[in-house]
Amino acid sequence: MFAGCSSKTSQNQPASTNQPTSAKKYHFYVVSHAGSSDPFWVVVIKAVNDAAKMYGDDVTYVAPAKYSLQEMINDVNSAVAAKPDGLVVTVPDPEGLDSILRSAISQGIPVICIDTEDPRPAPQKIPYLLYIGANEYISGRKLAEYVLSKFTPKRVVIADHEITNSSLRQRISGIQDVFKEHGLPLPEVINITDNPSQGDSVLKAYIGAHPGTDLIMTLGPLGTIPAVGVVKELNLTGKVTVTGFDLTEQILDWIKDGEVLCTVDTQQYLEGYLAIELLHFYKEHNLIVPNDILTGPLIVDKSNVQGVEQSIKDGFR
């Protein structure tokens, strides 16, 4: 049986009922900075379980209930102590996770990074096997370039739901660099936290203080949800544009209805599935891809939303 995917809320994800009955070949750990409370990571959990089932392996997914670097470090320590056959991690804080991940690698545990990479140059960069995910700086740039091809906003705010997450810092840098290159004021960054209710209050207060705001750029569903809600509640639909990152069925509907202009898709299912698949091949045949694998960015808007709709319903986005 699969090890249950767990979080610090002690909510185990159900194991698949259509699994091979033979003994599992390898036991892999996945330690992320976020779990099932974020729709994005529900897809990753499905992906790692699907891959483990395909190759007859065992996988344990662990993440804090809410973003906490210290809890994540503790989770990585526990995973390393279990001596798994491989480890998949996100790296939201490279300096904070550097020591423990280098220790895991020195012990012979193969490590693959997904979604949130260590952006530092070698030799500072953690020497994991490879990174699977989007280039977050390019993602930010691509989003900003798309927006500016549609209209020139007067005042922009970036709603950040994980203020210390290095991957979100890269997205913001990409956005701000494009605005700077166009000679436009830099978008202001505000901390809305990962609590949608609190994010709602923060965004209301910001718009109240800055009524000229006409673009809210969010960095994930935990920012898009309160942003759309606030725009509706304040009767600003059509006056304030919202953009996002990642896809859910709700965001899909908002794009179709014109409540969200676009979102950036990183195809996170591929992140989870390929990480487990590649660890299996590495253990079984000493095969590994020599370069990072980019799964995004892809801009999803009204022009192509129909093409991704079924994959969202099927749990692949």
List of residues 6+ apart from 244 with CB closer than 8 A: 218, 219, 220, 221, 223, 224, 227, 251, 260, 262, 263, 264
Residue found by looking up tokens 């997914």 in the block:
61
Q: Which two tokens stand for residue 200?
A: 């709602």
> By three-state DSSP, how is residue 16 classified?
coil
For the cut 50, the answer to whether the pLDDT of residue 24 exceeds it is yes
Q: What does 211-230 look like in DSSP terms, one character per residue?
A: TT--EEEESSHHHHHHHHHH
Strands 215-218 and 188-191 turn out to be unpaired
pLDDT tens, position by position, 190-202: 999 999 899 999 9
The CATH number corresponding to 6-134+267-286 among 3.40.50.620, 3.40.50.2300, 3.40.50.970, 3.40.50.720 equals 3.40.50.2300
Q: What does 65-115 look like in DSSP terms, one character per residue?
A: SS--HHHHHHHHHHHHHT--SEEEE--SSHHHHHHHHHHHHHTT--EEEES
List of residues 6+ apart from 50 with CB closer than 8 A: 273
pLDDT given for residue 19 in this prediction: 46
Average pLDDT over every residue of 53-67: 95
Strands of the sheet with 188-191, listed across from one edge = 188-191, 156-160, 215-218, 241-245, 262-265, 298-300
pLDDT tens, position by position, 116-136: 999 999 889 999 999 999 999
pTM of the model: 0.83
| Kind and range of the H or E run holding 62 | strand 58-63
> By three-state DSSP, how is residue 13 classified?
strand
For the cut 90, the answer to whether the pLDDT of residue 313 exceeds it is no
| Kind and range of the H or E run holding 180 | helix 166-181
For the cut 70, the answer to whether the pLDDT of residue 94 exceeds it is yes
Structural Rg of the chain based on CA atoms: 20
For the cut 80, the answer to whether the pLDDT of residue 5 exceeds it is no
Residues pairing with 245 in the sheet: 264
Percent of the chain with pLDDT over 90: 82
Alpha-carbon distances, residue 289 vs 112, 120, 131, 132, 166 (angstroms): 11, 20, 10, 10, 25
pLDDT given for residue 168 in this prediction: 94
8 A C-beta contact, residue 134 and residue 297: yes
Most confident option among 14-18, 57-61, 164-168: 57-61
Output 110 or 19, whichever has higher pLDDT.
Answer: 110
Q: How confident is the model at residue 23 (pLDDT cuts 50, 70, 90)?
A: low
- Parts of the chain belonging to CATH 3.40.50.2300: 6-134+267-286, 136-265
Name the nearest CA neighbour of 298 among 262, 273, 274, 271. 262
For the cut 70, the answer to whether the pLDDT of residue 8 exceeds it is no
For the cut 70, the answer to whether the pLDDT of residue 14 exceeds it is no
For the cut 80, the answer to whether the pLDDT of residue 144 exceeds it is yes
For the cut 80, the answer to whether the pLDDT of residue 12 exceeds it is no
Strands of the sheet with 27-31, listed across from one edge = 6-7, 58-63, 27-31, 86-89, 111-114, 131-133, 293-294
8 A C-beta contact, residue 245 and residue 220: yes
Output 79 or 37, whichever has higher pLDDT.
Answer: 79
pLDDT tens, position by position, 216-255: 999 999 999 999 999 999 999 999 999 999 998 899 999 9
The CATH architecture that domain 136-265 belongs to is 3-Layer(aba) Sandwich (3.40)
Neighbours of 205 (CB within 10 A): 12
